Chain A
Amino acid sequence: MELYNGPLDTKEIFGRWLDEQAASNYGAYIPFVGTIRAEEGIEALSFDIYEPVLQAWFDAWQEKAKALGAVVKMAHAKGDVPVHTSSYVSAVFSPKRRVALELIDEFVEDFKANAPIWKYDVKNGERMYAADRSTAMDGAGLLA
């Protein structure tokens, strides 16, 4: 898992991951790129991350992938990420395509639901929590 301040250098990351696994005999490599869209007049999105829980979440996913003979990778941005740049990339390597196609779907969806990352719209230099696009994590409401 890799965390960066500001936008991701997607080509460097994907190229490096590909090089790292060049001799691993994986038949499939499926990358996913999340790009900040220009909408609602935003200049950027901004992110807070709680790293200890994110690392635990990612470690559990690595174990799950390993049991299927696959590898999951991810990188995410912290702080401000301007429109038309990338805040999130992930990828799955697996011996055959079917496992990778299914895992990238599950991995990205679970990431959206349970990775401890908070998103803010940046407009006129101000940061506003994206409450309407956020999802309560599994187990939410325990203390209510």
Chain B
Amino acid sequence: MIKVEFLGPIAKAAVEMEATTLADVSAKLKEDSTLTEWLDKCAVALNDTMVNDLSTVLKDGDRVSILPPVCGG
């Protein structure tokens, strides 16, 4: 089981799911219509390190963070 958390303005509680790669996470999140407006704009971190590869392998207890567009300063 891994945990997916949604940061900043995405008004959604964290979810837990079975997933072996980030591609599995993508497939599951695409089923959620409340995320349709977000996924194409969001970056992804795995255990607080930014990731760029859908084939990234996940293990039990991993935490995936969804980071929407930013504007610091």
**Within 8 Å CB of A34, what residues of B?**
73
**Within 8 Å CB of B66, what residues of A?**
143
Query: Are A141 and B49 neighbours in the complex by a CB distance under 8 Å?
Result: no
Q: How far is the CA of A112 from the CA of B71 in the complex (A)?
A: 6
Count contacts on B: residues with CB < 8 A to the other chain: 31
Give the nearest-CB partner of A50 in chain B: B7
Give the nearest-CB partner of A87 in chain B: B73
A-B contact count (CB 8 A): 113
**Within 8 Å CB of B39, what residues of A?**
141, 143-144
Instruction: Determine whether A116 belongs to the interface, using a CB cutoff of 8 Å to chain B.
Output: yes
**Within 8 Å CB of A88, what residues of B?**
72-73
Task: Give the secondary structure class of A's interface.
Answer: mixed
Q: How far is the CA of A21 from the CA of B45 in the complex (A)?
A: 34
Instruction: Determine whether A52 belongs to the interface, using a CB cutoff of 8 Å to chain B.
Output: yes
**Within 8 Å CB of B22, what residues of A?**
142-143
Query: Which 4 A-B pairs have CB atoms at the shortest separation, nearest pair first?
Result: A117-B72, A118-B8, A134-B69, A129-B9
A residues neighboring B (CB under 8 Å): 34, 47-50, 52-53, 56, 76, 87-88, 108, 111-120, 129-131, 133-144
